[in-house]
Amino acid sequence: MKRAVGAILALALCLQLTGCKTIPKREEEKKESSSPQMESVQLEKLSYKVPADWRRVKDDTRCYHYPTQENKAGYFFLFYSDRDVSSAADTEALYGVYDAVLEGMEKGAVDFHLNKKERVKLAGVEALKVNYTERVDPYGVYTIEAYIFAGPDKEAMYFAIFTMGDALKEEMSAQITPITDSFRFSSQGISWGEVSGGGESGGSSKPSSSAAAGGGTASSSQGTAGNQGGGSHAGASSSGQSGSTQSGAGQSSSKPSNSAQSSASQSGGTLMGGATAEQKKALSRAKSYLGSAAFSHQGLVKQLEYEKFSHEDAVYGADHCGADWNAQALKKAKSYLNTAAFSKPGLTHQLQYEGFTDEQTAYGVNNCGADWNAQALKKAKSYLNTAAFSQSGLTHQLKYEGFTDEQTAYGVNNCGANWNEQAVKKAKSYLTIFSYSRQELINQLKYEGFTAEQAAYGADGAGL
């Protein structure tokens, strides 16, 4: 269901960009102002402020704000879902839900490319901030900044999505921070300017210290449930991390050398000298985490910091916990493969995103026992379970995921797809949101990679 919500959001993007002749204009006349006045808007329990001269279209569960009269230039979209996620008992489980939603958004997109992903605090709650690009035909590529978050009681989810064409990118980007900083949940009793969420500003989108934690997240393309993160494309970045970073795995500068880690492991994690009370607590907590999940050294440090240990105490706990980081990388790799399909490059990027070094990552990937042909087949079937593809479209998608030509061919040729039926499924999905003549629908299906015969079959099956 969480992935279905993501797919709905992807469809909404396409609909709102292409529906510029059907979206009603706001009743108020557009105001002329060199520095826009802000007006307050309420959607369920969330209130926020947007420029008053943006055209607005609102119903019970969503609100669209258009800076211009042309939808295709871009817009800000806030969507409310009554999906209860209170079963996400901790932060990692909650981010697992966010990842699943993001995976659905990616699967409903064309030429999705993740630019950046980070955990932030928004309106006093944990939120996933994602910047990516996707192609919306026939208008081209759009830059999108999305915020996925649950309400304070986790009984509903909210999605704030800024969609920007090239012409609107500068104007829209300048308004993202003022808009997201104004987010407030009325159920928390927060008035403007009050503080919420453990000392964080109620509307602040400050990076969360839980970013890159051991059960953390990455790109949506390999999203998973529970407290496992999602996969990552090349170029995905982990933000909100302290200290300088090394190239490649993004290790914190505080991370000890491999020899120091090995020494700590061989010593069995014994305390070196007189440890403070907080260091002992950090060490105990580190061992507890390692008993239930796999962490990189960097991820364990970040998790301990998220638990309010100082950076120094967190590093002490990670240094002396006795972990074999190669074994942790292998454990993490296997946990991902148990819940999602990865290509070899995709799994490599994911482990690097989690903070493992290049050497540790290589150990995990090379020893995880994955059959990459089987992974390609698993990924192909997972796509076909959620969306319709032509044979060439599915081929392109698997290659984008990092599978080789041979692995891709194996996945596509063995997935059991009936391409005629896929054309019907794709045709019907278009007709739920757009109006097409028969020839227009056939042309659209051919653009998606279906043959002329498959496209005609699809149009017939859709009733045109």
- The answer, yes or no, to whether residue 10 has pLDDT greater than 70, is no
Residues in the chain: 464
Share of the chain above pLDDT 90, in %: 38
Average pLDDT value for residue range 292-310: 90
* CA-angle at 346, arms to 341 and 348, nearest 5°: 120
Residue 433: pLDDT band by 50, 70, 90 thresholds? low
> Which position has the token pair 């910091």?
305
Residue-wise pLDDT tens digits, 270-282: 444 588 999 999 9
Rounded to whole angstroms, what are the CA distances from 258 to 97, 200, 263? 34, 36, 9
Highest mean pLDDT among 78-87, 217-226, 401-410: 401-410
Q: Which is higher by pLDDT, 372 or 338?
A: 372
Q: What's the pLDDT score for residue 452?
A: 95
Selected residue with higher pLDDT from 71 and 17? 71
- Per-residue pLDDT, averaged over 45-71, amounts to 83
Question: CB–CB of 180/205 below 8 Å?
Answer: yes
Q: What is the mean pLDDT of the chain?
A: 76
pLDDT for res 81: 86
Q: Which of 33-42, 358-367, 372-381, 407-416 has the lowest mean pLDDT?
A: 33-42
pLDDT for 59: 67
Task: Evaluate if residue 319 carries a pLDDT over 80.
Answer: yes
Residue 353: predicted pLDDT: 86
Which of the four pLDDT bands, split at 50, 70 and 90, describes residue 318?
very high
Q: Which two tokens stand for residue 183?
A: 């987010």
Least confident of 67-71, 85-89, 100-104, 312-316: 67-71
* Closest C-alpha to 448, from 416, 415, 418, 426: 426
The region of weakest confidence among 6-20, 109-123, 335-349 is 6-20
Per-residue pLDDT reduced to its tens digit, 322-341: 999 999 999 999 988 988 88
Q: What's the pLDDT at 304? A: 92
* Residue 417: both structure tokens together: 């797809």
